[in-house]
Structure 1
């Protein structure tokens, strides 16, 4: 079942993100806040027990109110390979388009994240939308002892329309 996240889901989202092995893990506090403050622009998939097994978090950009920025997409390992991330993304973009009038979706993807590249490329294709890519944040802009963060490439998808019938 696809649903709007609740504060009680925050710890589960943090665990799914941690276990993904690819996402930058935010603090557990940030996932709790996300489920409180950005629930309307996020979506979770619930397993048979009612607990989240996947999520997409996003927000409407304050300086671009026609744009949904997708922050993170994660699917628990036991539920991968079933098209769940694509369904979550379609559901979220349709819902936010209806409630906020968005016409554009943005996200960032590191060059080594082939799963996210495929997800957003196929999303654009299903929507018959244009997909542009440009570096938003260069690797050297990231602070910290690692100094080895990949660049974050901005994917911009527009115009948003309903998926083409298959």
Structure 2
């Protein structure tokens, strides 16, 4: 797994932003630090709560000059429907090939449900040099990040 101080793995992926665009991390960080909030799946209760909470704190992140992106294995079309249903004002990165969850080593399974290779719930702050300045990962999909810690981490980046 990537850790604080590591170079963040670069990626290019579909971006669900109300439309479908493309994002490359190395281009995104050129505009300032980025928060990558990995989540297991759209339209699930804890993921909805987590992303709504991040959306509620979007102004605090923006005030620190940080862009926020959710990352899941869902298609960008499902992510756009999810963004609309939940009312999110930030974009979601689609990792249907699981390349990003592999690169960040945040893959998990819900074996009992027969669902494999989802993103763990994880948050990384990536600075303009593509260095990880904050990392939080849990193996428990029912646990949300400490949002105050994330906001403090971006204020320090």
TM-score by length of 1: 0.28
- Say which structure is richer in helix: 1
Q: Give the number of the structure whose alpha-carbon radius of gyration is greater.
A: 1
* Structure with bigger RCO (C-alpha 8 Å, 6+ apart): 2
